[in-house]
Amino acid sequence: MFNIVLKGGDVLGADGQIRQTDIAISGSIITQIGTIPEPQANRVIDCRNKLIVPGFVNTHTHAAMTLFRSYADDMMLMDWLQTKIWPAEANLTSEDVYWGTLLAIAEMIKSGTTCFADMYFFMPDVAKAVAESGIRAVLSRGMAGVTPSANQALAESESFYNEWHNAGDGRITVMLGPHAPYTCPPDYLKKVTALAGKLGAEIHIHLSETAGEVADCTKQYNKSPIALMQELGVLDHGTLAAHCVHVSPEDIAIMKEKGVRVAHNPGSNMKLASGVAPIPQMLQAGICVGLGTDGAASNNNLDMVEELRLVATLHKVHGLDPLAVPAKAAVDMATVQGAKALGLGQVTGQLETGYKADITIFDMQQPHWHPRHDRISLLAYAASAHDVHTVIVDGKILLDNRQFTTIDQEQLFAEADRRGMQLVKKSHTK
């Protein structure tokens, strides 16, 4: 007796091939892929005309920034952070972060994401939203060495790791989150690396996002941010580096040597006019690249279906090369490579027996899914988040025929609207 059987869908297997077959789920695990003639299960889902893929892995976001969506647009990164975002974030409460995160989780589930990496504040409240909603997440308490709360952030990171790493039925893992080289001076980063060594924790950090960051770092330390991180030991504990837009061939060689995994955020990089990361060169060098949305204040949504299309098209036009990031490579970045980037390569990101049942099911009975010459191509270039029909995480259905099973949508929208408006009003009256 299985818990769930997905019957007769077009399944994207771990070998990259799509076959019409069945998937059986027992508890949290995929236990069988192949024809199951008369399935005995608590729930059998008819998946004819459905595409079944590994749930998307969003490798970099700041979930609760949904509350600042459309508050500050059309600005460059440092101006955006310094004049709008950081002042507004100073007013955040733990309840705001809980509701903002839950809004993000709802948006991610509805667009097919089953796992995300977050860096923010009030992380126990983020973890609570993750635990209650049923999604999978890799959480980091953001730390900035230049702020008065620098030492408190280190202490909170340690207690957060001790309380939440592997919690929520194993759906939550924890990393350390030094924000960036320009907010975390070398002495502070040394404390972070010492803590990473003590806990056995990996590190999630923003690196080389803008040309200005690289120029300032080079002026101050005579080294690129990547080379500086190498010197400080930041790359010795397992590193998830967000952005890496302005990296040189020498930086790429260091990243390869140190096994740095990259969270590529094409939508955010385009909107903040940060630049185009050399992703084809990184892939060529054998670096693990996952896909992320960044926060909803810089993207301005958390839709990995859109990000999939952006990554597959941006690098073509930038390099004048239609093969720069083919559809299959883009889908891999959104799934299997994303899971590897988060240190979850043995857990999620693939439809294979023994892996967690983290699954997204697309409804292909829509005009833009016909004719079906190539389903991977349709997913990368034609699909929409509206096609997401059912989402399963850890063997539990979180979105059932487009309806949430763990989230009260009406209450969520009311809380998020009220809190978002209040936060922006507070920022304007200061």
Among 119, 192, 226, 314, binds ligand LTUXU72L (CB under 6 A): 119
CA distances from 394 to 115, 258, 324, 348 (A): 10, 31, 34, 9
Q: Which is nearer to Zn ion, 18 or 184 (CB)?
A: 184
Q: Is residue 142 at the binding interface for ligand LTUXU72L, with CB under 6 A as the rule?
A: yes
Instruction: Name the token pair of 6.
Output: 């997905």
From 38-46, 138-146, 287-295, 403-411, span contacting Zn ion (CB under 5 A): 287-295
From 115-123, 309-317, 382-390, 397-405, span contacting ligand LTUXU72L (CB under 6 A): 115-123
**Nearest-approach distance from CB 416 to ligand LTUXU72L, in angstroms:** 17
Is residue 258 within 8 Å of 232, Cβ to Cβ? Answer: no
- At CA 75, angle to CA 74 and CA 76, rounded to 5? 135
By C-alpha distance, which of 69, 62, 71, 73 is closest to 97?
62
**How crowded is residue 123: how many other Cβ atoms within 10 Å of its Cβ?**
27
**Nearest-approach distance from CB 265 to ligand LTUXU72L, in angstroms:** 7
Among 50, 110, 136, 206, binds ligand LTUXU72L (CB under 6 A): 206
By C-alpha distance, which of 246, 370, 364, 378 is closest to 308?
378
CA distances from 364 to 49, 107, 133 (A): 5, 20, 26
Q: Is residue 113 at the binding interface for ligand LTUXU72L, with CB under 6 A as the rule?
A: no
**Nearest-approach distance from CB 30 to Zn ion, in angstroms:** 31
**Nearest-approach distance from CB 183 to ligand LTUXU72L, in angstroms:** 7
In whole angstroms, give the CA distance from residue 328 to residue 374.
11
From 9-17, 294-302, 336-344, 356-364, span contacting ligand LTUXU72L (CB under 6 A): 294-302
Q: Which residues contact residue 191 at a Cβ distance below 8 angstroms, ignoring those fewer than 6 apart?
A: 154
Instruction: Name the token pair of 244.
Output: 């890496």
Q: Is residue 59 at the binding interface for ligand LTUXU72L, with CB under 6 A as the rule?
A: no
Is residue 247 within 8 Å of 278, Cβ to Cβ? Answer: yes
Rg (CA), the chain: 21
Give the one entry of Zn ion, ligand LTUXU72L, none that residue 89 binds, where binding means its C-beta sits below a cut-off of 5 to 8 angstroms depending on kind: ligand LTUXU72L
From 4-12, 110-118, 177-185, 291-299, span contacting Zn ion (CB under 5 A): 291-299
**How crowded is residue 385: how many other Cβ atoms within 10 Å of its Cβ?**
18
In whole angstroms, give the CA distance from residue 91 to residue 158.
24
Q: Is residue 298 at the binding interface for ligand LTUXU72L, with CB under 6 A as the rule?
A: yes
Q: Is residue 416 at the binding interface for ligand LTUXU72L, with CB under 6 A as the rule?
A: no
Q: Is residue 89 at the binding interface for ligand LTUXU72L, with CB under 6 A as the rule?
A: yes
By C-alpha distance, which of 384, 291, 386, 357 is closest to 329?
291
Q: Is residue 184 at the binding interface for ligand LTUXU72L, with CB under 6 A as the rule?
A: no
Binding site for Zn ion (CB under 5 A): 294
Binding site for ligand LTUXU72L (CB under 6 A): 62, 77, 81, 85, 89, 119-121, 142, 144, 179-180, 206, 209, 268, 294-295, 298
